[in-house]
């Protein structure tokens, strides 16, 4: 036992002390670690009811995260599949995994993971089931996204998924099923709910791609130093628009084609446009000051920008 403790660099007293702090609430509760989002690309013959059944969710749950203006779908449309929104309760150790790597994957401190499992050393074995405490959230590491990718051995730019959680005012970046980093964001000043029409100043919801990017020199007063255009409106918005007679059949088809090709859709229809991720956020502007975009501080958008390439999926949750 002494050898194991020496190997881990921890004392039993330290681990037991941490466990006591966790149980007694000495470490403040934090939100669940952000999780990547499951999506489904609609195929010919797919229906809302069929997709709901396939993933074991209700049609209403699908409609809550996908702002659908009608019950019909179009091939190529991408639906967000609602999930539990929290990390799994446990993790089975795989060959080659270390306690440190597992803790990093789920946004935990190694000591927290040890305390939750009564471990006094960092030695773990394949097949061992570890309890994942759900009080921990991503800690601010102070590292750039480039440094995080390099530490994980991922290429730059790596295939990423960007998830914007409107209710949490948070933009999170994922590679595969692993969380990398999160940034605070400000949203549109038009209130909650998905964007509906031009000029409503709401932030959209749904699945989009980055379709254009630009360095702004000099920096714009409100867009800051970087601009990442999103492919809004998407197919779901086009269905809503043509069903509600906001757009015609020709505009509908142009939007559908642009989404499938991951190019810029029409920006001047009644559905609105000009939605993107940009910089410019600062305390003097107050909360939710954009016209529907996702606003980051200039340092944060500059950190994200090199890795957010055209074609990167951006999922905006309610």
Q: Which residues are catalytic?
A: 278, 293
Query: Exposure string (b/e) for 182-210, b if CB count within 10 Å is 16 or more?
Result: bbebbbbebeeebbbebebbbbbbbbbbb
Number of residues in the chain: 318
Q: Would you state the structure tokens that stand for residue 174, as one six-digit string?
A: 């994922």
Q: Which candidate, 249, 253, 292, 262, places its Cα nearest to that of 274?
A: 292
Widest Cα–Cα separation across the chain? 75
Alpha helices in the chain (DSSP H): 2-8, 12-24, 48-55, 59-65, 99-105, 110-117, 145-151, 235-243, 249-261, 298-304
CA distance 191 to 200: 9
Tokens of 124: 């773990």
Return d(Cα 138, Cα 105) in angstroms, integer. Answer: 10
In 73-207, alpha helices (H)? 99-105, 110-117, 145-151
Helix axes 249-261, 235-243, angle to 10 degrees: 170
CA distances in angstroms from 136 to 36, 109, 210, 213, listed in the order given = 17, 8, 31, 34
**Residue 95 CB neighbour total at 10 angstroms:** 7
Q: Is the dihedral of CA 82, 85, 88, 89 positive or negative?
A: negative
End-to-end CA distance of the chain: 50
């Amino acid at each position: 036992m002494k050898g194991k403790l020496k190997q881990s660099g921890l004392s039993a007293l330290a681990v037991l002390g941490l466990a006591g702090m966790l149980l007694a609430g000495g470490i403040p509760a934090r939100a669940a670690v952000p999780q990547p989002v499951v999506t489904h690309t609609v195929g010919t013959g797919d229906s809302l009811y069929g997709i709901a059944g396939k993933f074991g969710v209700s049609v209403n749950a699908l409609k809550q995260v996908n702002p659908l203006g009608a019950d019909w779908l179009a091939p190529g449309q991408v639906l967000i599949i609602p999930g539990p929104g929290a990390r799994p309760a446990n993790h089975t150790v795989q060959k080659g995994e270390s306690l440190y790597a597992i803790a990093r994957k789920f946004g935990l401190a190694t000591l927290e993971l040890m305390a939750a499992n009564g471990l006094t050393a960092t030695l773990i074995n394949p097949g061992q089931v570890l309890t994942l405490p759900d009080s921990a959230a991503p800690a601010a590491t102070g590292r750039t996204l480039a440094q995080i990718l390099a530490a994980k051995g991922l290429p730059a730019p790596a295939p990423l998924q960007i998830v914007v959680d409107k209710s949490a005012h948070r933009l999170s970046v994922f590679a595969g099923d692993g969380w990398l980093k999160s940034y605070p964001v400000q949203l549109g000043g038009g209130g909650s709910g998905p964007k509906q029409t031009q000029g409503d100043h709401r932030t959209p919801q749904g699945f989009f791609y980055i379709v254009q990017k630009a360095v702004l020199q000099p920096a714009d007063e409100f867009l800051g130093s970087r601009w990442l255009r999103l492919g809004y409106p998407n197919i779901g918005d086009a269905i809503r628009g043509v069903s509600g007679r906001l757009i015609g059949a020709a505009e509908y088809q142009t939007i559908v084609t642009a989404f499938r090709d991951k190019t810029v859709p029409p920006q001047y229809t009644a559905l609105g446009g000009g939605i993107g991720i940009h910089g410019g956020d600062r305390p003097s502007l107050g909360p939710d000051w954009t016209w529907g975009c996702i606003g980051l501080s200039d340092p944060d958008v500059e950190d994200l920008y090199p890795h957010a390439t055209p074609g990167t999926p951006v999922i905006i949750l309610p």
